[in-house]
Chains A and B, each alone.
Chain A
Amino acid sequence: MKEKVAAVEAKMIPIYIMGKKYDVPESLTIMKAMEYAGYKYIRGCGCRGGVCGACSTVYRRPNDYKIYTGLACQTVVEPEMYLTQLPFYPALRATYDFAELTGEPEQIFELYPELFRCVACNACTKVCPMDVEVMDYIAALKRGDIKAAAQISFDCIQCGLCASRCMGELPQYHIAQLARRLNGAYLTPRAEHLKTMVANIEAGRYTECLGKLKASDEENLKKLYTAREMEPASAGEDWTPKENTCL
């Protein structure tokens, strides 16, 4: 079951990798097709699962003026496609002292004044391989709505394709990253139960219990393990165990 690059029976189709023609099996992704053709990736390949944004690809179909984009590890080859990989696209990223920020929209405006160069052409949204509504989150930020921007941009994999097509030359994905962090740290309530637990651990509340477990032989540990009470799958947030030693 080794990662197969070619199924014997697959139909072969011609594709153009950076202008050069290769015949590859039709069922492959662009990434596997390029490897099939003999390329070995150094740049332009990461997770191979559509979440890291390393393998942005730009392509055209025959007799079609449009530019199409996708991730090489997710997009299946098409006959006669012309493709180019964009393993790195330059974009400015602001640096900031995160602990000094408080979540005011003006902080984003100061760090990324180019935000207001957006002309709402929507090229960014059209190009996004993750179907993120890029223009909408930029619009939300222009209104000062960081929370909305954080939510809309949540699936962003920071491949940079948005920046590559932006006529206002915004680094959308960097701006979105800042918005998400501000949302997570300053605009969403912190978890109170988390603070309590950390304080309890620091105060040594579980030290003795854990000490006993650490000193247990395997047999005793197995006994405790088997007897431990299971929280039912359908239990609500308020469920409490019957046995409350070591809580």
Chain B
Amino acid sequence: MPYPQELKELIKIVESTRAERVERKKKNEEVPFLSLDERKEMLNNHPDFKEEGRRPLKVGPSKNYRIAHEMCNLLEARSRVNPDDIDLSKIDYETDVLVIGGGGAGTAAALLAQEQGAKVIIATKLRHGDANTMMAEGGIQAATKGHKDSPYYHYLDVMGGGHFNNVPELVEKLVTEAPDVIKWLESLGCNFSKFPDGTLHTIHGGGTSRKRMHYAADITGAEMMRTIRDEARNRIADIKVIEFSPAVELLLNEKGHCAGAVLYNMETEEYFIIKAKSVVMATGGSGRLHIQGFMTTNHYGATADGIVMGYRAGVPVCFLHTVQYHPTGIVFPEQAEGILITEKFRGSGANLVNIDGQQFVNEREPRDVEAASIIKECIGRGKGIPTPTGKMGIWLDSPMIDMLSGEGTVEREFPGKFILYKRFGIDISKDPMLIYPTLHYQNGGLEFKNTGETKVPGLYVAGEVGGGIHGENRLMGNSLLDIMVFGRIAGKSATIYAREKANGSKLSLEHVVRYNKEVAEAGIEPEKVAPMLLPDYTSSSTKARQYTTRYLGTMRTFK
């Protein structure tokens, strides 16, 4: 849907202030960054600070921890399977390392596990590679330019972005392994944007003190994902991929060590038992929970399944009291609602502009501060732009980029978004985009160490399902980095465990029996079932006509 006349009129105001803003940008005159105290004040406008948005958990190892209702609903639910129905003596698959999740972290883990000599099975809910990794646009951070940057500055930026609460050992690993990850990807044939002599292009991201964001045009995650997926497919003799078959429960053994999982074939509705010497949990995040009703940038399967399974198996959760809202999600046209507009637009010079054509925030504040500023501008100050569907947005003035860096830059540097908008009849090199914060990242997750290990022996964690690296707020480009760094580490650690430490032979679902009992004793309504697997977008009118159907969570069953 192209911009209607009302919005075209408002765009004229943006145009009237554009030349002057471009001039200021050229002279490096920027809106000053907020001080740490001002940031704190601004964050009161952030959804994380709405106490009514959360409640204390009633069950499990992190009982009483206050997190979002939507996440509590899953963690307080009972299992999708009745443990009594499952015959654990019948094993359908057996492997050294089971990787749950086929995104960037899971695939990196599988590759490294295979290199260490393990037989690997990747169990994935959708297709191999259907993950948020594929959707990451802007870039991957790493301090690779020694004349101006080092892991030291990267570390400082990560800690500052995360409000100094990050787990230091995890951050240290993240920043010191970063350059090697880029080197690894380069050797696998990942096409990062480069100068003719091979020097990598790098730009700023929100909260970075140095330009250390490496990218592959504006589809960095897709380029990384398709490269490592292709590599995994070459190792088909050792890496088996089972698609459309999410894990729904972990299996422990008689010693309480992780020893496999129950898989669910979503098409035939059969369950399968998979026995493994160690397990890597790499299921990603939870945007599809639509916390506090926000739209999301996340892919279809981002429903926190790994957190549910790991938590039931005894791993505490951390940092889940914060959720990352990406400052710039599409709020118009509605067909593209929630889709991410990469921070790279701001890194390349595009201003955020209110209804009066004024810039109101420095575009490179950390994401939570940036999102809070946009929400405040729309709700607190009434300076937002009303959309035809009754929402509010802020202009992201993309045409500035062509004025700053030459005509054709937007089309060349942002081909993905350029095409997307062109389909809706909008030329983003001429007209600005209308944006609003969108649910983007699960800052917290399962607790784990810098070796990838969790409290449950044999269970390793990698990627968004784990918490601690990013503290209470992640900086741009550190997620693509995190999945590669910790994916590789988890793959290696899980293989060493499989080879040297795995013991026990009898599979067990006793932990699920105990958990279900705890849920029942807490008096929680029995209709809650998790993991969710897929979100529920069936309309209420359709549901009303499904006379013989009932919904158990997102599961559709006969009455």
A positions within 8 Å CB-CB of B: 1-7, 27-29, 32, 35-38, 40-43, 45-52, 54, 74, 76, 93, 95-98, 130-131, 150, 154-155, 157-158, 177-178, 180-186, 188-198, 200-201, 205-206, 209-210, 213-214, 218, 221-222, 224-226, 228-235, 237-241, 246-247
What is the 8 Å Cβ interface bit string for chain B, positions 336-352, against chain A (1 contact, 0 not)?
11111000000101000
A-B contact pairs, 19 of them (CB 8 A): A1-B293, A4-B334, A40-B537, A43-B126, A46-B126, A50-B339, A54-B126, A76-B335, A185-B188, A188-B194, A190-B198, A192-B199, A194-B182, A197-B146, A206-B176, A209-B152, A213-B168, A228-B209, A233-B30
A181 touches B189 (CB 8 A): yes
Complex-state Cα separation, A183 to B155, whole angstroms: 32
- The one of B149, B198, B300 in contact with A188, judged by C-beta atoms closer than 8 angstroms, is B198
CB distance from B378 to the nearest CB of A (A): 12
- The one of B134, B183, B211 in contact with A46, judged by C-beta atoms closer than 8 angstroms, is B134
Among B284-332, those with CB < 8 Å from A are 290, 293-297, 299-300
B300 touches A189 (CB 8 A): no
Residues in B whose Cβ lies below 8 Å from that of A205: 150
Q: A96-B234, A191-B198, A198-B179 are in contact. Are A185 and B187 (CB under 8 A)?
A: yes
Residues in A whose Cβ lies below 8 Å from that of B186: 184-185, 190-191, 194
Complex-state Cα separation, A131 to B364, whole angstroms: 32
Complex-state Cα separation, A178 to B226, whole angstroms: 10
Q: A193-B146, A198-B183, A210-B176 are in contact. Are A28 and B335 (CB under 8 A)?
A: yes
B positions within 8 Å CB-CB of A: 1, 25-26, 28, 30, 35-36, 126-127, 129-130, 134-135, 143-153, 155-157, 159-160, 164, 168-169, 172, 175-176, 179-180, 182-183, 186-192, 194-200, 204, 209-211, 217, 219, 222-223, 226-227, 230-231, 233-234, 236, 244, 266-267, 290, 293-297, 299-300, 334-340, 347, 349, 364, 389, 391, 415-416, 419-420, 423, 534, 536-539, 542, 546, 556
Complex-state Cα separation, A22 to B253, whole angstroms: 50
CB distance from B180 to the nearest CB of A (A): 5
Nearest residue in A to B337 (C-beta to C-beta)?
A3
Complex-state Cα separation, A241 to B127, whole angstroms: 45
Known: A27-B335, A185-B187. 7 other contacts (CB 8 A): A38-B546, A74-B423, A191-B144, A194-B186, A210-B175, A213-B155, A233-B364
Residues in A whose Cβ lies below 8 Å from that of B188: 98, 181, 184-185
Q: A155-B415, A210-B176 are in contact. Are A52 and B130 (CB under 8 A)?
A: yes
A189 touches B28 (CB 8 A): no
A246 touches B209 (CB 8 A): no
- The one of B35, B143, B189, B539 in contact with A98, judged by C-beta atoms closer than 8 angstroms, is B189
Q: A27-B334, A35-B538 are in contact. Are A222 and B164 (CB under 8 A)?
A: yes
Residues in B whose Cβ lies below 8 Å from that of A150: 191
